[in-house]
Structure 1
Amino acid sequence: MATTAPFARFEWMIAWRYIRAKRAEGGVSVMTWISLIGITLAVFALIATLALRTGFRAQFIDTMLGANAHVTVYQQNTVAGTDIVSYLIADYDQLAGRIAAVPGVLRAAPLVRAQVMANRGNGNAGVEVFGISADDLNEIPLVAQRPDEARGTLDRFDEGIAIGWGVAQELGVTVGDRIRIISPNGVRTAMGTSPRTGAFEVVYIFRAGLDLIDRTRIYMPLDEAQLFFNRDGVADEIEVSLETPDAVDEIGPQIAAAAGENALLSDWKSRLSGFNNALNMQDNFIFILLSLLVLIATLNIVSGLVMLVKNKGRDIGILRTMGLTEGSILRVFFIVGASIGTIGTLCGVLLGVVFSLNIAHVYALVDQVSGNGVSGLEAQGFFFPDAILEWGDMVATIALSLALSWVITIFPARRAARMNPVEALRYE
C-alpha cells in the first residue's frame, strides 16, 4: 500500500472541516469557540501582566537608582611607614577619568560624604551631605532633571546647597533661607576635635520621589565639602552611573581593572540584594501562576476533541476502511487541536501587545470610569507602571502556550487513531 507524507493536504482539509462543523453535523463548534477564547484571554493576561511587571521593575529600579550610584568605588591604602589604613582617594580626578573611559559607563563623579545635623530655629534633621561638583550634580536624573518637582535653580549651586523636599519640610525652610550644618568631626584643637558649624543658603530644593532620599540628603559643592569636612585634596569615593544598570555584572570587572588593585567596589545589586531577590521571586511566581491559566484554557481543547472524537466515530471508521492509517487519523485530530491553540495564542499575543502599547489610554479610561481614581492615587504617592514588552517574555509565553496546546492535543488524537473501525461502524 502506498504511503502518504505526514500532514498531507487531505489531512488538513479533513481537519479544517471538523473545526468548522456545527453541532447538527456532529461537530463541536461551540467548544471550539470556548477553547479559542479561553486561550486568547489566558495568553493576553500573561503578556499584559508580564509587561506591567517589567514596567514596574524598571520604574522601581529607576526610582531607587535615580539619585544613587550604580557602582561605588573606594580605595584602600596603607599610610606609608604605619599600619594605618586610609580609604581617602587622593588622585580622584585621574581615577574618575579612567573609570569614565570604560565602555558602558555614563559618568564617574568624585564625592565627599558625611553625616551631619541640619538646623534652623527649632527644627533639626539628621542628614547626609554629598559633596559633588555642579556638573556632576546636573547629571543626576531624579535631582536635577525634574524641574516640575523642584524649587530654585542649580545655576547658583556653587553659592549654596541643594536639599531634599523632606529636609526642607522638617526644617521649615524654602529657597533663599539659610540653614546651619553641624559636623561632629570638625575643628581640631589642643583639647581635641570640636564640632564644626557653618551656615549655607538653600538655592535648590529637589524632590526625588523617595523618602529615603528626600528626607535625608543634602548636596554641597565639592570644594566646600572638602574644606568643611577636613578632606582637603581628597575624596571619599567615586560614584559611577552605567548606561544599563543591569549590566553591572559584566562592567564591574572592567571598572575594577581601571580603578587599580587597591580599589573596592560596591554595586547596586549587592546593596539592594533583598529587594532584587524579592523582585526575582515575584517574577517567577507571577509567571508560574499565570501559566496555570494557560494550562486550564488548553484543557478546553481536550474536552472539545474528546467530544469531537465521540461524535465522529462513524467518520473515523469510514476513513479507516478507505485506507487512512492510524497516523493520518492522529494527525487530523492533532491539527484540529493545535490549530485552535495556535490561533488562540496569536490572538492573545496581539491583544497583549495592543494593550501594552496603549497602557496610557487604558489608565485614562479607568480614570474616567472610576471618577479620577487613578489620578487620586497618583496624588497620594502611588505610581502606575508603564507596560514594557520584552522579547524574552513574549517568546516564553508563546512557547508555553503552543507547547501546552500541542502536547495536550496528542492524547485525544491518539484515542481517535486507535479506534477500531469495526466497532465504530457496528451500530451504524
Structure 2
Amino acid sequence: MILSRYERMIARRYLWPGKGEAFIALVASISLVAVMLGVAALVIVMSVMNGFRAELFDKVVGLNGHAVVQGYGGRLPNWREILAQAQKTHGVTEALPLIEQPLMASYEGRVEGVLARGMRVEDIRANAVLRGKVLDGELKALTPGSGNVAIGARLADMLGARVGSSISLISPQGQTTVFGTVPRIVSYRVAAIFEVGVYDYDKAFVIMPLEDAQTLLMLGDDVAMITLQTTDADHVGEILRPLLPVVANKGLLTDWRQMNATIFEALQVERVAMFVVLSIIVLVAVFNILSSLIMLVRAKTRDIAILRTMGATRGGLIKIFVTIGTLIGAVGIVAGLILGAVFLFYRQSVVNFVQLVTGQNLWDPSIRFLTELPAKTDPVEVTAIVLMALGLSFLATLYPAFKAASTDPVQVLRYE
C-alpha cells in the first residue's frame, strides 16, 4: 500500500494525537502492548512445546532407537542373524544388540527399582546421549568382567551412592533349590554417574557391558532386543517392513510411535490447544486496535470532512486509517518477537527466579520428564504467528477506515 506525501503526513499526525486526545493515545498504546504480549506468549509457548517434544524425542530415540526387535520371553536367540540382516536393510543406519531388565539395586540399606541395561562397550562409548553427559567418573572404565557400571544421577542421589561405591543388583532369576528360587545378588562398582536429562532414565538406568549383563541374567549368548536407527523416523514402518519376515516367530518389531504413542499424541493435542487458546490474546488485542481507531475516527470527524472538501479521496482516507491500525499491529508484533526471544534466552533463569520468589517447584522433573525447560523455535510457526497477527490487525482497520471514508462533509460542516 503506497501512500502519497500528504497521506503519510496525516497518518503520522494521527498516530500521535494532540493534547485533548490523550485517552485515544492510551487506548492505542494498550492495543500495541496487547499485541506484543499475545505474540510473545504464542512464540514462547510454541517454542517450549517444540523444544519439549524435540528434546524428549532425541533422548528417548537416542537410547531406545527408532524401533526395537524384542525377543519373546525376554530372549532373542540367533540375534546375530537378525542383526546382520538389519544392517543390510536399506535405510537402517544402526543396529545394536541390547539387554534390558528391571531389577532391584541396594546400597547401605537403601533399595530402589532400577533398569539394568547391557550394551557393547563400543556402543556405550559411542552413544551420543551418554557421551558428554557424565557428571563424575568415566565410561572408559566399563569393560567386560571389570564389575563396573554407570548409573543415573537421580538414582545415585536416591541410593546415596557415588563413584567408587559398591552397589548390589538383585535379580529374581537365581538358582533353584528345594526351598524355591534364590534371588541372584551381584555387587558392582559405580564407575560413572551420568545425567541425560530425562528424569525416568536418570533415576532408573544402570548401564553395564553386554557380557556382564548376560552373566547377571544367565542369558548365555542371547540378548533381549536389538535397537534400530533409521534415516527417517517418520517413515520407520516403511523402512523396516523388509525385516518383518526375518523377525517373524522370533520376536516383535515395535517402532518409537508405538512405544511412546500416548505421550507424543498428548503433546500434539496440547500444542494445538495452546495455539488456539493463546491466539485469543491476539484477537483481544485486535479488538483494542478496532476500538482505538473507531474513537480516532469519531474525534477526527470534522478534520476528515475538511480533508474531503479539500479534495481527499475516499481511497486515500481508507489507506490512512488502514496504515495507522496496521502499523500499531506491526510494531506490537516486532516488540512481541523481541520480548519472546529475550524470554526464551533467559527461560531457565526466569523459572529459577520465580521458584525462588514463590517457593514453589514450577519444573518438577518427576512430572515434566526433563530436568530443564527446553525450547526450540520453529521459523515456520513464527512466520505463521506473525502473518496471523498482521492479518487480524489489518482486518480490524477495515470498518473504521470505511467509516471514515463514508463521512459526508456537507452533514458535518453544515453548522460550522
Moved more, 405-414 or 308-317: 308-317
Alignment partner, residue 81 of structure 1? none
Identify the match of residue 339 of structure 2 among 341, 348, 351.
Answer: 351
Q: Are the counterparts in 1 of residues 83 and 95 from structure 2 also a CA contact under 8 Å? A: no
- Measured after TM superposition, the shift of residue 224 of structure 1 is 3.9
Q: Are the counterparts in 2 of residues 161 and 219 from structure 1 also a CA contact under 8 Å? A: no
Q: Are the counterparts in 2 of residues 69 and 241 from structure 1 also a CA contact under 8 Å? A: yes
Identify the match of residue 266 of structure 2 among 256, 261, 278.
Answer: 278
- Measured after TM superposition, the shift of residue 323 of structure 1 is 3.9
Q: Are the counterparts in 2 of residues 161 and 202 from structure 1 also a CA contact under 8 Å? A: yes
Q: 1:115 to 1:60 in 2, by over 3 A?
A: closer
Q: 1:27 to 1:229 in 2, by over 3 A?
A: closer
- Measured after TM superposition, the shift of residue 234 of structure 1 is 4.0
Q: Are the counterparts in 1 of residues 104 and 111 from structure 2 also a CA contact under 8 Å? A: yes
The CA deviation string for residues 298-340 of structure 1, in whole angstroms up to 9 with x for no partner, is 2221121111111221222233334444333222211111111
> TM-score, with normalisation over the residues of structure 1?
0.76
Q: 1:186 to 1:210 in 2, by over 3 A?
A: farther
Identify the match of residue 239 of structure 2 among 232, 245, 254.
Answer: 254
Q: Are the counterparts in 2 of residues 118 and 182 from structure 1 also a CA contact under 8 Å? A: no
For 2:358 and 2:14, the matched residues in 1 are separated by: 49
Instruction: Provide the secondary structure at the position in 2 that maps to 1:36.
Output: helix
Q: Among the aligned pairs, what percent are the same residue?
A: 28
Identify the match of residue 392 of structure 2 among 399, 404, 421.
Answer: 404
Q: Are the counterparts in 1 of residues 149 and 208 from structure 2 also a CA contact under 8 Å? A: yes
For 1:228 and 1:360, the matched residues in 2 are separated by: 41
Correspondence 1:16 to 2:3: no
Identify the match of residue 179 of structure 1 among 132, 144, 168.
Answer: 168
Query: Is there any run of 5+ residues in structure 1 with no aligned partner, and where?
Result: 77-83
- Measured after TM superposition, the shift of residue 395 of structure 1 is 1.0
- Measured after TM superposition, the shift of residue 405 of structure 1 is 0.6
Moved more, 21-30 or 138-147: 21-30
Alignment coverage as a number of residue pairs: 402
Q: 1:421 to 1:371 in 2, by over 3 A?
A: closer
- Opposite residue 173 of structure 2, the aligned amino acid is P
Kindly report the root-mean-square deviation, in angstroms, between the aligned alpha carbons of the 2 structures. Answer: 4.1
User: How do 1:293-308 and structure 2 match up within 5 A?
Assistant: 293-308=281-296
Correspondence 1:335 to 2:319: no
- Measured after TM superposition, the shift of residue 225 of structure 1 is 3.6
For 2:48 and 2:140, the matched residues in 1 are separated by: 35
- Opposite residue 262 of structure 1, the aligned amino acid is V
The CA deviation string for residues 87-141 of structure 1, in whole angstroms up to 9 with x for no partner, is 5324144245336x737x4x43111334455567976665443332011122345
Q: Are the counterparts in 1 of residues 139 and 150 from structure 2 also a CA contact under 8 Å? A: no
- Opposite residue 191 of structure 2, the aligned amino acid is Y
Q: 1:116 to 1:26 in 2, by over 3 A?
A: closer
- Opposite residue 274 of structure 2, the aligned amino acid is I
Q: Are the counterparts in 2 of residues 71 and 240 from structure 1 also a CA contact under 8 Å? A: yes
For 2:49 and 2:115, the matched residues in 1 are separated by: 33
Q: Are the counterparts in 2 of residues 316 and 424 from structure 1 also a CA contact under 8 Å? A: no
For 2:105 and 2:22, the matched residues in 1 are separated by: 82
Correspondence 1:133 to 2:123: no
The CA deviation string for residues 143-182 of structure 1, in whole angstroms up to 9 with x for no partner, is 554222x456542431224253566677776635363553
For 2:285 and 2:313, the matched residues in 1 are separated by: 30
Alignment partner, residue 45 of structure 1? 41
Query: Is there any run of 5+ residues in structure 2 with no aligned partner, and where?
Result: none
Q: 1:277 to 1:304 in 2, by over 3 A?
A: same
